[in-house]
Amino acid sequence: MASSGTIAQRWRELHGEHSWDGLLDPLDLDLRKYIISYGEFPQATYDSFNTEKRSPHAGACLYGYDNLLASTHVAAAGDYAVTKFVYATSALPVPEAFLLLPLPELEGVWCRESNWIGYVAVATDEAVAKLGRRDIVVAWRGTIKSLEWVNDFDFTPVSAAPVLGAAAAENPLAMVHRGFLSIYSSSNADSKFNKTSARDQVLEELRRLMALYKDEVTSITITGHSLGAALATLNAVDVAANGVNAPSNSSQPPCPVTAMVFASPQVGNHSFKSAFLSFGDLRALHVKNAGDVVPLCPPVGYVDVAVQLPINTGRSPYLRRPGNVATLHDLECYLHGVAGEQGGAGGFKLEVDRDVALVNKIVDALEDEYPVPARWWVSQNKCMVKGADGHWTLKDFEQI
């Protein structure tokens, strides 16, 4: 489990150059830290998403580019700069867990067709030496309601051709989940924020950044949890299939593309997995918690495309047992599991000093002996601010 070098020296190995062979059991210490670090990027989308339906900005981000990472206490906040917010809609009807909109009675709302679904960030000049390359991160948000969507969602398979580029012709039977593809690739002419799809927004920004840093050593890391993990999987293969990681006139070879996903539903069929695995610069690591129902869905006709890292938060002495549907799926509980997973040796020991209070941010997971309130992550006064005139006003919006 010991570290055997710095991140700058080991990043290709940790990024999946050898498909994490020999690193997963026992779980390499540097890889633990690496996975947790990337897990904090999608956690930031949960911690900054405006879920207040009485707000005109419901479904947007509470923060701006400059303070999103710092305000959500991402450990790597000083190493990355957010360059783009990403918005999604769906051409298909989807549960409210996927798209949360302001109450219809409200006036002056920011949007009634789209939600903020994630962001793109790039390593700063100062961080390049520490990281060993110019890393570009895409973080996708997951669902923000209960897991009832697992039962209500339409899992109809459709052709994966929209994300496979030229490889579509070689994999004509590759299919993916229609609902996930719709959220990833839908546009809406009536939406100010989805004139183009989430897919097109991300690919455009990645192309811009790859062109900007075309002569540097780069990597593209795409991360997400739950729905966000499914979108990250589609996005990763899309990037590799369409050569977004290989800008023209670059002095560098195509950069590695890695999907670092947590609690992902199964996105496509066996043919889609074959297509996914055909790209030499593409890797995916999937952290799966024992007892979490989401990675088992859809149960028929779909498979996992990634290298699997199983964890078992049920072994943690810090968490209430047995876990429930929410705690077994929660991303902070997943990161706690990564910090303490002992693999085949059994048991649980925190190898990374990650505060156990974090598991109660959004759920009620800790044993009662810990004086940490359940669901404690809330904005001060729910973003109500008292003005000089003595009146209170909702201030829950900074930047689109």
**Cβ contacts of 332 within 8 Å, gap of 6 or more:** 43, 358, 359, 361, 362, 363
The Cα–Cα gap between 252 and 205 comes to: 19
Give the phi and the psi of residue 210 in degrees, each rounded to 5. Answer: -65, -35
The Cα–Cα gap between 266 and 176 comes to: 9
Reported as type and span, the H/E element at residue 227 is: helix 227-241
HSE-CB of 153 using CA atoms within 13 angstroms: 28
The Cα–Cα gap between 337 and 317 comes to: 11
What is the per-residue burial (b if ≥16 Cβ within 10 Å, else e) of 232-241? bbbbbbbbbb
The Cα–Cα gap between 10 and 22 comes to: 14
Q: Which residues of the chain form beta strands (DSSP E)?
A: 80-88, 115-123, 134-140, 157-159, 175-177, 218-225, 257-262, 282-289, 307-311, 384-386, 392-394
136 within 8 A of 121, measured Cβ to Cβ: yes
The Cα–Cα gap between 306 and 222 comes to: 13
Residues designated as active site:
226, 292, 329
User: Among 288, 139, 307, which residue's Cα sits nearest to residue 223?
Assistant: 139
To the nearest 10 degrees (0 to 180), the angle between helices 227-241 and 270-277 is 50
260 within 8 A of 233, measured Cβ to Cβ: no
The CA radius of gyration of the chain, in Å to the nearest whole number, is 20
The partner residues of 157 in beta bridges, in order of sequence, read 177
The partner residues of 95 in beta bridges, in order of sequence, read none
